[in-house]
Amino acid sequence: MEQSQDTGNRGRVWILGLESSCDETAAAVVEDGRRILSNRISSQVEIHARYGGVVPEIASRCHLELINTLVEQALQEAGLTLDRLSAIAVSHGPGLVGALLVGVATAKALSYAIRRPLIAVNHLEAHFYSNLLSDSDIRFPAVGLLASGGHTALAYIPRPGEILQLGQTRDDAAGEAFDKVARVMGLGYPGGPEIDARAAEGDPAAIDFPRAYLEEESRFDFSFSGLKSAVINYIHNLRQRGGEENLPDLAASFQAAVVEVLVEKTIGAVREKGAATVLMGGGVVANSALRREMRRRLGEECPGVELHYPPARLCTDNAAMVAAAAYPQFLASNFAPLTLNAIPYLQLWAKP
């Protein structure tokens, strides 16, 4: 099919973004890559909370039931009809394959129906674009830290539209470690906000948990499974001896170990790359200690380097970031074919 590249919008670019990679179904319209006209999100977190984590098949079914309604709501809120859109963008990976396919199939059908280009967006890259939606004045080159429930990665972003992965987690994502540790502590799901709240009353130096910095060639990779096991062993040993854990101290000490590694490696990447800015994204960026420590240490060790992180509703999965990430691709006419597929293990790619 010939896809029309005529926006018909007198110079304005209106991109509809779709997101269904995990447990949030979302649709949004963004103007010129920056201005959010609508941002509809339906979270399944309460459904999955019963099981203590995301159940892939339930997630796919929920996406299928919700996505068309969300698209309608996003268009209505933006005051647009389908035929006025410039392009349709979708997260095609990484994520749960069945979940991703719902967004990909929907985006393909819409693109075909309205004869507008289809744009494939890397979900990890999209997280960094949340910053461009809330802060228009960002200096590049930047180092990006993504810390969410499914991913933890460091990236070098020389300019919008270009990204190079520096490292990623070898095992658990930072948010996953928060969720698993919270479960053993008897706290609810998702565990990150629960640990964050308990930690506020605790002593971060109470228990010396391990920090994995890894060997030199893996200096920008992460590993949180050793820390997670150390916390679980600590709790089990204590309980076996008839003791009871001090939840605030435990939460604060675990959190301090995660935050120290995230901050230290980000600062290492800033120095090595001579970055002007740090962009953070992902659900864990809501963590108060991470924000505080990143700001403090950048201020002390890398004066002049700016720190940006999105407001809470743009830290977690949303479709506005997908539409924003698609904008440079739209300008470069980098469109996807209608044979586009979901890629569950897609990484942050290196572009020239």
Element (H, E) at 41: strand 35-43
**CB nearer to ligand KG4: pick between 115 and 292:** 292
Task: Let me know: does 294 contact 307? Beta carbons within 8 Å.
Answer: yes
Q: Which of residues 189-208 bind ligand KG4 (CB under 6 A)?
A: 190-193, 196
How do beta strands 142-147 and 277-281 pair?
A: parallel
**CB nearer to Zn ion: pick between 59 and 267:** 59
Q: Which of residues 100-159 bind ligand KG4 (CB under 6 A)?
A: 148-150
Rounded to a whole number of angstroms, the minimum distance from the CB of residue 161 to ligand KG4 is: 22
Rounded to a whole number of angstroms, the minimum distance from the CB of residue 127 to Zn ion is: 6
Choose from ligand KG4, Zn ion, none: what does 175 bind? Cβ within 5-8 Å by kind.
Answer: ligand KG4
**CB nearer to ligand KG4: pick between 120 and 280:** 280
Task: Let me know: does 321 contact 129? Beta carbons within 8 Å.
Answer: yes
Chain centroid to Cα 330, Å, comes to 22
DSSP 313-330: HHHSS-SHHHHHHHHHHH
Task: Let me know: does 253 contact 204? Beta carbons within 8 Å.
Answer: yes
**CB nearer to Zn ion: pick between 86 and 148:** 148
Tokens 């080159």 correspond to what residue? 141
Among 317, 319, 336, 340, binds Zn ion (CB under 5 A): 317
179 counts as binding ligand KG4 under rule CB under 6 A = yes
Q: How many residues at the interface with ligand KG4, by CB under 6 A?
A: 19
Tokens 């075909």 correspond to what residue? 112
SS3 assignment, position 254: helix
148 counts as binding Zn ion under rule CB under 5 A = yes
**CB nearer to Zn ion: pick between 97 and 302:** 97
19 counts as binding Zn ion under rule CB under 5 A = no
**What's the token pair of residue 91?**
């997260």
**What's the token pair of residue 154?**
């460091």
Q: Which of residues 267-296 bind ligand KG4 (CB under 6 A)?
A: 282-284, 286-287
Q: Is the peptide bond before 352 cis (omega within 30 degrees of 0)?
A: no
- Chain residues that interact with ligand KG4, rule: CB under 6 A: 22, 148-150, 175, 178-179, 190-193, 196, 282-284, 286-287, 316-317
Residues that bind Zn ion (CB under 5 A): 148, 317
